[in-house]
Structure 1
Amino acid sequence: MSRHETGEKLRDTLNALAKARSPDHDERNDAPLLVALKRWQSERLGQSFTGLLADDRYQPAAEFFLSDLYGSGDVSWRDRDVTRVLPTMVRWLPEKALVALNGALELDLISHQQDLLLCEHLPGPSIDTESYARAYRASCDEALRHRQIDLIVDVGRELERLVKVPLILGVLKLARGPARGAGFGQLQSFLERGFAAFRHMGPADHFLRTIEQGERQVMQRLLNQHADPFGFGQTRSKRQAPPNGASGSPRAATPRTT
């Protein structure tokens, strides 16, 4: 695929994301239930990956990969900024960087679409493990859920390779001032945090394997109606949300996968 074709694919993904997030396209985007669902999932994932978050080597990558990329907060600013700066990115960034960015955006798109479907089957904003599991089974597109997890690994592998390319880090540093002056400070900071986190971590095998295996297991346990799908040692009488009793701290804000 040429650089131009990759740029066009990025533009298509950005357009699909803008449509998926639009209340005009889907009124569920304005519903409090969607906010509650994203927060619940973030807190669940924070509990699932406490081991990575507690490890000095993996903590920065976990906080970026499980929070900045796929957290419960509003990232529409990122999509708008990428859309505005896309022609420049296509000219200056290596094609592998564009591919990684498109993968991250596609992952966000699938996650958001699946969240909207989940909302159709939730009884209300008071979510617990049992109601979540029922809604998950009723709305699950298994192929897309597997694609979701595949993308986590693919994007992680690309980031692992990209941080070894001196040119990219140099371009990011040179672009810091102009980016902020042009109103892209948030996007610039987002990119720098990601590269710094993965550079700090080094080899990503354990990090990515932990996430992939954990989320595939959760997916199968949810579909198989396991009594404790997330492996938190819960009983049916204790399935209250959030599953870890968190209050939404940054360390608990993690990606929307399953």
Structure 2
Amino acid sequence: MNALTNAPISATDRIRQQLERVSHLRTQARQDGLSTAVHQVKQLQARRFRATYADFLADPRHVAATAFFLDELYGEHDFAQRDAQFARIAGAIERLFPEAVADLAVDLAETHALTETLDHQLAEHWLAQDEHCPYTERYVRSWRLTGGRAARQRQLAVVLHMGQELQRLTRMKSLLVALKLMRGPAQAAGLASLQQFLERGFSAFATMGDARHFLAAIAQREQQWIDTLFDADLPACQAELARELQRA
């Protein structure tokens, strides 16, 4: 809600607020000398995700959707260009697309902001520890010092909602046609990165078909890792993380 008018905050404003948060965190990381630590954290997490979903990455039916989630939502890439484009077209998304697509864009922005916030906090604790500490111990301790269990649960919930919406929207053939028609205008407007993100997501879920098994696996496996990283005996947690990373 808007505190001054009591009116609901528009999708456009919600997207821009989240992306402004991400931009602020990037600037703060550079100023505080955290950028390398943030990247190290993201690299380790990307390895864990690849290991956790190795079976889906090896399955022709699920590989595109799995790669989409790992690259676009949990990847270690620099999303600055896509974010800038996303912020510029936020209003157009709300004007030109059905409400469900605008909500999908809000989910993406919120996931991105939650991930960047948690990674930034985790990197602060990572950097404060002895660099000679085993990286699995360093990560688990950093995770627990960061805390934020509610934020981790929210992150997972939004990712799952995004997946459910992608599956639902891929059944709307008119949207798939509209996306293809946007290629030229998006390129001309300097919005190629955002266009590619949307097309990749829709194509991946259209290829997969029924996403229930895939989304149920994400829900179960990520919840298990959240619980393990917060609650398991420290040596046992480190050992389990080390075993998982060896599979990557």
Is 1:120 equivalent to 2:113 in the alignment? no
Partner Cα separation in structure 2 for residue 86 and residue 164 of structure 1: 23
How many residues are treated as equivalent by the alignment? 239
**Contact 2:108/2:162, CA 8 A, preserved across alignment:** yes
Partner Cα separation in structure 2 for residue 93 and residue 27 of structure 1: 38
**Contact 2:51/2:247, CA 8 A, preserved across alignment:** no
- Structure 1 partner of 2:231: 224
Is 1:169 equivalent to 2:180 in the alignment? no
Q: Where do 4+ consecutive residues of structure 1 move more than 4 Å? A: 1-4, 124-127
Residues 90-101 of structure 1: matches in 2 within 5 Å?
Answer: 90-101=94-105
**Contact 1:128/1:243, CA 8 A, preserved across alignment:** no
Partner Cα separation in structure 1 for residue 226 and residue 22 of structure 2: 24
Partner Cα separation in structure 2 for residue 212 and residue 29 of structure 1: 34
Partner Cα separation in structure 1 for residue 49 and residue 198 of structure 2: 22
Unaligned stretches of 5+ residues in structure 2: 2-6
C-alpha deviation, 1:245, in angstroms: 6.6
Change in 2 beyond 3 A, CA 1:3/1:137: closer
C-alpha deviation, 1:212, in angstroms: 1.1
Is 1:46 equivalent to 2:50 in the alignment? yes
Partner Cα separation in structure 1 for residue 172 and residue 239 of structure 2: 39
Hey, which of these two has a bigger chunk of helix by percent?
2
Match of 1:199 among 203, 206, 212: 206
**Contact 2:34/2:123, CA 8 A, preserved across alignment:** no
Match of 1:179 among 181, 186, 194: 186
**Contact 2:137/2:238, CA 8 A, preserved across alignment:** no
Partner Cα separation in structure 1 for residue 227 and residue 54 of structure 2: 21
**Which has the larger displacement, 119-128 or 63-72?**
119-128
Query: Higher relative contact order by CA 8 Å / sep ≥ 6: 1 or 2?
Result: 1
- Structure 2 partner of 1:6: 11
Partner Cα separation in structure 1 for residue 239 and residue 161 of structure 2: 25
1:179-208 Cα deviation digits (max 9, x unpaired): 112221222112111110000011111111
**Contact 2:56/2:63, CA 8 A, preserved across alignment:** yes
TM-score, scaled relative to structure 2? 0.87
Partner Cα separation in structure 2 for residue 52 and residue 231 of structure 1: 23
C-alpha deviation, 1:15, in angstroms: 2.1
**Contact 1:44/1:243, CA 8 A, preserved across alignment:** yes
Identity of aligned residues (%): 32
Match of 2:115 among 111, 114, 122: 111
Root mean square deviation, CA, Å: 2.5
C-alpha deviation, 1:231, in angstroms: 8.0
Is 1:33 equivalent to 2:33 in the alignment? no
**Contact 1:13/1:106, CA 8 A, preserved across alignment:** yes
Partner Cα separation in structure 1 for residue 102 and residue 239 of structure 2: 36
For the residue of structure 2 that corresponds to 1:55, the secondary structure is: coil
**Contact 1:133/1:225, CA 8 A, preserved across alignment:** no
Partner Cα separation in structure 2 for residue 4 and residue 219 of structure 1: 31
1:188-234 Cα deviation digits (max 9, x unpaired): 112111110000011111111111111111111111234444885x7
**Contact 2:167/2:205, CA 8 A, preserved across alignment:** yes
**Contact 1:107/1:151, CA 8 A, preserved across alignment:** yes
TM-score, scaled relative to structure 1? 0.84
